[in-house]
Structure 1
């Protein structure tokens, strides 16, 4: 794979879920918190909490609505989880501790689809959209990448497709060899 720009890392926004209240039960309306933000592919969600009394479970829509913890897509329990958003769609998170989800410790992160350029300008690459920046990578921290919800192809083709989509999103020409 060859890239036609200088080596730069595309960094998204970093959101601490719940802001100062962090990830806890009571005291914050996570629905309200999420509805005031525009999440995009590449953004990072930080869940901070006491791991002795909370965790983070990524679940499907129906499990989110019913607070079902029986079959999570992923479970995080470090107390300081960083999760990078890798595709558009809804990402549903709940606390798996008894009664916490029912008490409001759940959040629906809606990631908007960014329109793909329909035409490449004569300069060779589409322009960056105003809400995205090209910047150095943030300080090293463990970040889990999350893929778009729903079925996905197996093997490397999904990664190549995702890399191509991210490159197109940020105006980087990519040539697959």
Structure 2
């Protein structure tokens, strides 16, 4: 066993480094619009703003995705004016396949509506504000509380910030110490 380990240590070391580097870069989430109900017309007038209430409780970043699950409907990304009118003849994005994933490729405001006549006016519309991805700054006590109150999406991917130079140096030195000991 020790002979195999010494013979393959460069391969093993490269594998470990690549795995650590890959995990450190994963920093995006997928949000499911409408939860278990999916992208549907709100059931009552009281729920007309249900999608915007949901969006305001989440924090969206560049490279995050939103998943729309629906039947016999569609999803359109439109301008603010078209969002207000609930009508678009030239949407920026259109899908009607029943399971649509939309990736945020830039920061800014995105406007979504249903393409089925009457659905948008009954509340099947959504505004999402996407933040720019920035290096995390040292949080002040108040901003740390604000961040704790803003839930992120449930995803199977751990959200991690990239490791610092000191962390990488310690990791590499430790590995070399184990390999050559």
TM-score range, shorter chain: 0.5 to 0.7
- Name the SS of the counterpart of 2:111 in structure 1: strand
- 1:69 deviates by 1.9
Structure 1 stretches of 5 or more lacking a match? 119-130, 139-168, 173-177
Q: Distance in 2 between matches of 1:55 and 1:40?
A: 24
**2:61–2:132 Cα contact (<8 Å) kept:** yes
Change (3 A) 1:70 1:87: same
After TM superposition, give the deviation of residue 114 of structure 1 in Å.
3.6
Paired residue secondary structure (1:25)? coil
Contact 2:62/2:107, CA 8 A, preserved across alignment: yes
The TM-score with structure 1 as length reference comes to 0.59
Q: How does 1:9-20 map to 2 (within 5 A)?
A: 10-20=26-36
Deviant stretches of 4+, over 6 Å: none
Partner of 1:66: 85
RMSD of Structure 2 on Structure 1 (CA): 3.2
Unpaired runs of 5+ residues, structure 2, are 1-16, 138-150, 165-181
Per mean C-alpha deviation after superposition, the further-off stretch among 22-31 and 73-82 is 22-31
Pair 1:38-2:59 in alignment: yes
Q: How many residues get paired?
A: 124
Q: Going by fraction, where is helix more abundant, 1 or 2? A: 2
Q: Between Structure 1 and Structure 2, whose CA radius of gyration is higher? A: 2
Query: TM-score, normalised on structure 2?
Result: 0.58
**Higher normalized strand content (fraction of residues):** 1
